[in-house]
Structure 1
Amino acid sequence: MDGKGVQQIDDGAISINNASYIRVSGLEIRSYDTSSADVTPIGIHVSGSGRNIEITGNRIHDMGTTAGQKAGGGNAHGIAVYGNSEAPLNQIVITQNELYNLRLGASEAMAINGNVDGFRVEQNIVHDNDNIGIDIIGFEGTAPNPAQDQARNGVIQENQVYHISSYGNPAYGNEYSAAGIYVDGGKDIKIIDNDIHDNDFGIELASEHAGGATSNVEVSFNRIYNNSAAGITLGGYDEDRGRTENCIIKENTLTENNAKRLGYGEINLAFDTRNNELSNNNIQANEDGRMITNEFTQNEGNIVDFNHYSTKAQAYWMWKGEEFDNFHAYQSQTGNDRHSDLS
């Protein structure tokens, strides 16, 4: 499906609305473009309510928005699932698709947003896009009932996500702010066995909306390396955001993130992180030596232990704004990593 010369509408090249038992498979979608900030082109768009929808083996590329800086960069998606009805979308499967060379403006290559209860995102390749790769979203007012306005009960597994960067995107200018995988207000999600590299951030767990929380997310057995900023970051990027709570970060391999020396640790805790567990991770820093960074004091109940640290140079940790270059001092003064080791 080639959108060249087609008049764009604010919807998908393929749209599924209030439907069930649908499979979209084996298609190529390209050149579905707009220069208007008032139009959001989407490769495949699922909305309303329904169940048992499969999006599998499609290739979506070289499409999106060219709206300029004055228009805020516009918006576009490769695949978007919007639960915007009182009844949820559930049993959504997105597998073995390739999304690349997408011009996304302020939006994401793949988005699952609102009243979506039960999804699998598996074995996709998402690469070379100018904003977030995979985004699971809540609290944006997508669902009519605020109590249901969170994508939830999902698995993100065995995906490859790389070369995701907002740098040069008209909506962001020269900011490195795009995550490979982002949970922005979602809950009850497993992020397992993904390969995530050469993005701005590797994995981000946060809520951009004050009062909202990303919660009960397990991040495990992922390989996260060579991202420009943090490999994994938790919490809001400033004090006007929501919180990250009851998440488990375990048995991941983080290698030489903070590649552009932006001041982040391999793992970064930002604003309002509560009761999260970071354990049994294999963390190898680059020559900057930054292991864990945490500038904010709004941090309570987090457990950090049984991690394995190594670095090519002096190792550093920051906790509640205090920086440590001595592992034993960091352990004793923070209570963190009492059973961890440094080599």
Structure 2
Amino acid sequence: MTTKLLNIKTRLFRSLTNLGMMIILFSCSSSSIGEEPINPPAPPASSVEKSEYYVSTTGNDENPGTLTSPWRTIQKAVTTVTPGCIVNIMGGTYYEEIKVTVSGTADKYIVIKNYNDEEVIISGDNKPRELMNLNGVSYIKVKGLTFADCLGSYSVGIKISTTSDEASHHIEIESNTIRNLYANATATVYPPNVYAGGITVAGYLDSKAIHDIIIRENTVKDCRTGWTEAISVTGNVDGFLITKNVVTNTGNIGIDASGHWGISKNPTTDFARNGVISENHVSYCKSPVEGGAGIYLDGSSNILVEKNISHNNVYGITVGCERANNFVTNNIIRNNICYHNEGFGIGLMGWSPEGRIIKNCQVVNNTTFGNAKDRLGEIAIYSTENTTIKNNIFYSTHANSNLLYVDDSHLNLDMNFNHYYSSSPDVKFYWKGNIFSTFEQYKQNTGCDLASAFSNPLFIDTEVFDFQLQSTSPCIDTGDPAYTPAENELDFNHNPRKVGACIDKGAYEKQ
């Protein structure tokens, strides 16, 4: 953790949403519920876009790049344009590895997009390819393109990275599709060191962080990513927004913000931080060798994960730290829905024998349903310090499975005002090697969840995964009475987070 990050008292950020700009204030020195240790990218200034150029599969790079005389290659366009230009790519398939080397400016973004909503495919031709590189550039928008058909390790759809002395910043990746990227030819096994990332952000420089990155409304599907992820932010990255993306069937983890892997050689900057992961729909992210979470915070800090749906993965949402003798801190997991994942719905996965600790994490107002078919629980907790788990609904549907799984050491675990239920009569609460068969036994022996409840939460319709609350739900107005929502915090449906005397439990607030 950098000295700068530890000493921050108050930080202001703005993130783009379809409702306009959102401002959230937080204090890194406090871990109380509702405060947000986040500093995602500020929205770009208004672009002044002056010139438009065109690319066509029937063009010629000797042409002037006009609508009637377009260029042939995208590479020609991105090498030639200047700040404020728009590159319009006409429909067709382009077999290129594109290296964007020209930057825009704060008021003159360079825009690279499909022309007139036509389908533009940038194809790897079933070879190992890095289809688009944005290394050490800034003020770039990439919109409406399809990146497809790579086969082989170190393939990637879009990579945002650094040069030897410059870090990329103010990059927007929006409304693109990444599909059919395969690290290797077989789906049953991943040899060591095979990778095929969908969208990768990697900060290699020690002293210059990648920042102000927006990854919005993209689709990553039908890939075999090997030992990497569909959307990945790693290394020295400070400030990002990953929102409203669809990630499905990717062969490993869906969305990952990670750190301490030696990407940046300075350990004080070698982790993703100050980011927001929101409103994404992540499903069927499963590795044949190492499981796979829908959303994973691995060694990253100051991340807000909210209003996501994560289902039919191996795990729903995981906070962890795989590298020994490191820790993660100040992450908030709130207002998410996790269902039908094979393992836990939400997991805090430190490991104290190796010095991997989860610190100052908040898990609040989430809904989990029907997870943990074979292992762990609706929520699983390992090696945490100063952890808050409140106002959640944990609903188990599987016979002979754990509703709650708590193991290893914990310091200052504040777990209360939650709502538990199991549709199976053989409910189990696992606590540090002990198994309790009733909710009352669990409370009496652990001292946790003393103000929590066990009963049917009365969702609208679990058959169609509608986890809104019926008007008679026992979860209405029964959350922590001391809870004060953060400024601009909304429920899963973008409604006010607190209506009535107390906040509701779960991801939805009854209006």
> Is TM more than 0.5 here?
yes
- Does residue 229 (structure 1) correspond to residue 347 (structure 2)? The answer is no
Q: Find the residue that maps to 2:444 and give its secondary structure.
A: helix
Q: Find the residue that maps to 1:108 and give its secondary structure.
A: coil
Counterpart of 1:310 in structure 2 is 421
In the TM superposition, residue 50 of structure 1 has moved relative to its aligned partner by 2.6
In the TM superposition, residue 309 of structure 1 has moved relative to its aligned partner by 0.8
Q: Is the 8 A contact 2:149 2:179 kept in 1?
A: yes
Max Rg structure: 2
Which letter maps to 1:290?
N
- Does residue 217 (structure 1) correspond to residue 331 (structure 2)? The answer is yes
Q: Is the 8 A contact 1:207 1:241 kept in 2?
A: no
Q: 1:233-281, CA deviations, whole angstroms, 9 ceiling, x for partnerless residues?
A: 11236844622111000100110101xx3221100013x2221111110
Q: Is the 8 A contact 1:130 1:164 kept in 2?
A: yes
Counterpart of 1:191 in structure 2 is 305
The equivalent position to 2:176 in structure 1, one of 58, 61, 80, is 58
Q: Is the 8 A contact 2:417 2:449 kept in 1?
A: yes
In the TM superposition, residue 335 of structure 1 has moved relative to its aligned partner by 1.0
Counterpart of 1:108 in structure 2 is 229
Q: Is the 8 A contact 2:127 2:150 kept in 1?
A: no
- 1:222/1:262 CA distance change after superposition, 3 Å: same
C-alpha separation in 2, matches of 1:70 and 1:92 = 30
- Does residue 93 (structure 1) correspond to residue 207 (structure 2)? The answer is no
Counterpart of 1:46 in structure 2 is 160
The equivalent position to 1:286 in structure 2, one of 371, 383, 397, is 397
In the TM superposition, residue 70 of structure 1 has moved relative to its aligned partner by 7.7
In the TM superposition, residue 182 of structure 1 has moved relative to its aligned partner by 0.1
C-alpha separation in 2, matches of 1:287 and 1:6 = 42
Q: 1:298-328, CA deviations, whole angstroms, 9 ceiling, x for partnerless residues?
A: 2221111100111112322112221111222
Counterpart of 1:13 in structure 2 is 131
C-alpha separation in 2, matches of 1:183 and 1:339 = 29
Q: Is the 8 A contact 1:123 1:158 kept in 2?
A: yes
- Does residue 30 (structure 1) correspond to residue 148 (structure 2)? The answer is yes
Q: Find the residue that maps to 1:148 and give its secondary structure.
A: coil
- In structure 1, runs of 5+ residues without a counterpart are none
C-alpha separation in 2, matches of 1:148 and 1:4 = 33
TM-score (norm 1): 0.91
Q: Find the residue that maps to 1:339 and give its secondary structure.
A: coil
Q: Find the residue that maps to 1:330 and give its secondary structure.
A: helix
In the TM superposition, residue 144 of structure 1 has moved relative to its aligned partner by 2.7
Q: Is the 8 A contact 1:299 1:320 kept in 2?
A: no
Aligned-residue identity in percent:
33
Q: Find the residue that maps to 2:441 and give its secondary structure.
A: helix
Q: 1:73-121, CA deviations, whole angstroms, 9 ceiling, x for partnerless residues?
A: 6111000000111201111000000000111111111100011111000
The equivalent position to 1:324 in structure 2, one of 408, 413, 436, is 436
Q: Is the 8 A contact 1:66 1:73 kept in 2?
A: no
Q: What is the 5 A alignment of 1:27-176?
A: 27-34=145-152, 39-48=153-162, 49-66=167-184, 69=189, 71-72=191-192, 74-85=194-205, 86-167=207-288, 172=289
The equivalent position to 2:377 in structure 1, one of 244, 248, 265, is 265
Q: Find the residue that maps to 2:442 and give its secondary structure.
A: helix
Q: Find the residue that maps to 2:429 and give its secondary structure.
A: strand
Which letter maps to 2:339?
Y
C-alpha separation in 1, matches of 2:275 and 2:123 = 32
- Does residue 246 (structure 1) correspond to residue 364 (structure 2)? The answer is no
Counterpart of 2:388 in structure 1 is 277
C-alpha separation in 1, matches of 2:190 and 2:294 = 26
In the TM superposition, residue 143 of structure 1 has moved relative to its aligned partner by 1.2
In the TM superposition, residue 64 of structure 1 has moved relative to its aligned partner by 2.2
In the TM superposition, residue 146 of structure 1 has moved relative to its aligned partner by 1.2
C-alpha separation in 2, matches of 1:133 and 1:239 = 28
Count residues with an aligned counterpart: 326
Q: Find the residue that maps to 1:227 and give its secondary structure.
A: coil
Greater shift after overlay, 59-68 or 125-134?
A: 59-68
C-alpha separation in 1, matches of 2:199 and 2:208 = 21
RMSD: 1.7
- 1:241/1:42 CA distance change after superposition, 3 Å: farther
Which letter maps to 1:336?
C
